[in-house]
Amino acid sequence: MLNLKFIQDNPELVVEKLKRKNFDASEIVSNIIDLNTKKNKLQGEADSAKAEMNKISKEIGMLFREGKHEEANAAKERTAELKENIKNFDADFAAIEEKVYELQVLLPNLPHESVPVGKGEDDNEVIKQVGEIPAMDEKALPHWELAAKYNLIDFELGVKLTGAGFPVYRGKGAQLQRALINFFLAEASKAGYEEIQPPLAVNEASGFGTGQLPDKEGQMYHITEDNLYLIPTAEVPVTNIYRDVILDAKDLPYKNTAYSACFRREAGSYGKDVRGLNRLHQFDKVEIVQIAHPDKSYGILDEMVAHVEGLVAKLGLPYRILRLCGGDISFASALTFDFEVFSAAQEKWLEVSSVSNFESFQSNRLKLRFREEGVKKPQIAHTLNGSALALPRIVAALLENYQTPEGIKIPEVLVPFTGFDMIS
């Protein structure tokens, strides 16, 4: 959430910057400024009424003592009138504050100055590409056919049990999933991240805190009877650990990692891009989260990007890193880097990670602050997170890129976690 004072002091800048996200903020910002003007006027009137009431209250006793009963009673009537006016001022003031807040949360985060201008994914900037695109045999199979051939993933059974987008992993397919999770968690642990095992459902306050609500409400599974939401990513519960807390600056950054199942409705998805593991309603992912000092958050973003790059490189997959343009970056993010791996049999790039700096946007919602020695007022922290990594498309790329006539090779780095080096 953008800071209200910043919006009030820089309305033109907010509108101009959000144009880069293809978001027209002019009406919202204008309404906020107008409401704030009314609020200030009301505050002035309320303060004047309180001052007058205090003055008259002091005079009433003196008037009675002087025998001026008529004047004293008139003064009492005036204080009653002022008290009612103040009550109405307070109610109007609270209503305006609520309306300002409702408008304030509709504004996306301001994009970092390095975010490219663009309308969608075709305008994202490729900043790095590594690895040779594998030349596959014409008989190479897409991962959904390999999964069926080697009895790794049963998509139809998932439809029977739940519905489309809920695959069942079995045998070596399930073992490969577990191996990847353990590998990613082990790498995060080596990098200094504390592991968290979070709940898979969160309350409304948690969804609001990280910006999923109200922006992505239609994409989340809602447990209506209990008003809980299935998590779309472990980012939500892990970041909310720090909601309504004041941290010590000397302890920053806080580094957490978590494995979780993730649930997304993916409303509106259709066509060939949803084949196999390309787009699911339930999938596994390891997340990394950092709570950082504002002066150091962009250096930490670079560190997190390097961590994710190391994972993809160790798996031996061709990959590229993209800086997302304004039209593709999320509501809450200031700057996001996406990782894509090349799927040989599908001949396409598949997104496997997003690494983002949210600056103070989530922290303002979370009331997440830190106290620095010698600074009296607590300051707002910065939050960052990244997928390290999301499993479905990693599995898809591994199956397709490592297929041979004899079976599917397992990357060397995973063998200690799988216990086998070939699926055949």
**Is 286 among the annotated ligand-binding positions?**
no
pLDDT for the residue 312: 98
| Residue 369: CA count within 13 A, CB half-sphere | 11
352 is in an annotated binding site: yes
pLDDT tens-place values along the chain, 424 residues long? 999 999 999 999 999 999 999 999 999 999 999 999 998 888 888 888 888 888 888 888 787 777 778 877 787 888 888 888 888 888 888 999 999 999 999 999 999 999 999 999 999 999 999 999 888 888 899 999 999 999 999 999 999 999 999 999 999 999 999 999 999 999 999 999 999 999 999 999 999 999 998 877 788 999 999 999 999 999 999 999 999 999 999 999 999 999 999 999 986 555 556 789 999 999 999 999 999 999 999 999 999 999 999 999 999 999 999 999 999 999 999 999 999 999 988 899 999 999 999 999 999 999 999 999 989 899 999 999 999 999 999 999 999 999 999 999 999 999 999 999 999 9
Domains 4-104 and 121-423 share a fold: no
Q: How many C-alpha atoms does 250 have within 13 Å on its Cβ side?
A: 3
CATH fold of 121-423: BirA Bifunctional Protein; domain 2 (3.30.930)
* First CA to last CA distance, the chain: 51
User: Omega into 389 within 30° of 0, i.e. cis?
Assistant: yes
Which ranges constitute the DSSP H helices of 153-296? 155-161, 172-190, 204-209, 235-240
The reply to whether 424 sits in an annotated binding site is no
Scanning the structure block, which residue is given the tokens 């990244």?
386
Name the 3-class secondary structure at 84: helix
- HEC letters along 255-312: EEEEEEEEECCCCCCCCHHHCCCCCCCEEEEEEEEEEECHHHHHHHHHHHHHHHHHHH
Q: Give the fold, CATH level 3, of 4-104.
A: Helix Hairpins (1.10.287)
Find out whether 404 is annotated in a ligand binding site: no
Question: φ and ψ at 392, to 5 degrees?
Answer: -55, -50
The structural domains of the chain, with segments of one domain joined by +, span 4-104, 121-423
User: Is 78 flagged in the annotation as binding?
Assistant: no
Query: How far out from the chain centre does Cα 58 lie?
Result: 55
The pTM of the full predicted model, rounded to 2 decimals, is 0.91
- 265 labelled as ligand-binding? yes
336 annotated ligand-binding residue: no
Please indicate if the annotation marks 287 as binding a ligand: yes
**CA 140 – CA 134 distance, rounded (Å):** 11
What pLDDT, on the 0 to 100 scale, is given for residue 241? Answer: 98
